Amino acid sequence: MKNEFTDIKIKTSQHLIALYCGSRSGNNPIYREKAIALATGIAELGFGIVYGGASIGLMGQVADTVTEHGGEVVGVIPEFMLDYEIAHHHLTELHIVQTMHERKAMMADRAAAFVALPGGLGTFEEILEVATWSQLNQHQKPMMLYNVNGFYDHLIAQLDHAVEEGFLPPQHRAKLIVCNHADQIFNAIKSLDSPEHFVV
């Protein structure tokens, strides 16, 4: 397996889906329920995940669920964040890195596709950053917003407003796929070829 992070040991054999999601579970039980269902489906399709490495919130839930259903799970967490997020120590791989940039670059490098579940500032920043990288031709991997319970409606409206106002080219807006149902995500990843390698 190709890998720019030559000092890490690769234990996975599955294609990995990057899941960006909250270190909290949210106020509505539907967020946890849909995260579990998504993670279950990803594992049953024969994929693993790469995520932020925490054992709490939706992050911990998707990691536990994929593991329970036989999928591989790679966690990446910066050392300084161990004071904020409790690292998950029952993963296929856990990488403790020095910076947020390292975390995001490693996740992007290992991922075959990106899915943002509900989350906070970190989740927004992560999916928008990979969308920016796509606009700059650094990758052509699928990018999806999982719009559970209309969670991303306002962000979607803002992106569309940016198109209308001439700041975001429509072809780049179109690359960020809005998925209201998990089946849309499953259909997108079923046809994935080997992930394109790139370095951020």
Query: Where do the structural domains in the chain lie, given as residue ranges?
Result: 16-190
Residues 4, 161: Cα–Cα separation, whole Å:
37
Q: Which helix (H) or strand (E) holds 18?
A: strand 16-20
Per-residue CA distances from 171 to 12, 108, 134, 191, 196 (Å)? 34, 21, 11, 21, 20
- Digits of tens for pLDDT over the chain (200 positions)? 345 554 567 888 999 999 999 999 999 999 999 999 999 999 999 999 999 999 999 999 999 999 999 999 999 999 998 877 688 889 999 999 999 999 999 999 999 999 999 999 999 999 999 999 999 999 999 999 999 999 999 999 999 999 999 999 999 999 999 999 999 999 999 988 644 443 33
CA atoms within 13 A on the CB side of 93: 20
Residue 187: the pLDDT is 94
pLDDT at 38: 98
Q: Which of 108, 111, 107 is nearest to 94 (CA)?
A: 107
As a whole number of angstroms, the distance between CA 178 and CA 198 comes to 24
Q: For residue 94, what are the contacts with CB-CB under 8 A and spacing of at least 6?
A: 53, 74, 75, 77, 87, 88
Q: Is pTM beyond 0.75 here?
A: yes
Instruction: For domain 16-190, give the fold.
Output: Rossmann fold (3.40.50)
- Which two tokens mark 53? 């490495």
What is the predicted pLDDT for the residue at 198?
36
Query: By three-state DSSP, how is residue 40 classified?
Result: helix
Joined tokens for residue 49: 């995940």
In degrees rounded to 5, what are phi and psi of residue 97? -110, 180
The two structure tokens encoding residue 117: 């579940």
CA distance linking residue 76 with residue 31, whole number of Å: 22
Contact criterion met (CB below 8 Å) for 55 and 23? no
Amino acid 137: pLDDT: 94
Predicted confidence at residue 21, as pLDDT, reads 97
Q: Would you state the pLDDT for residue 192?
A: 80
Rg of the chain taking only CA atoms, in angstroms: 16
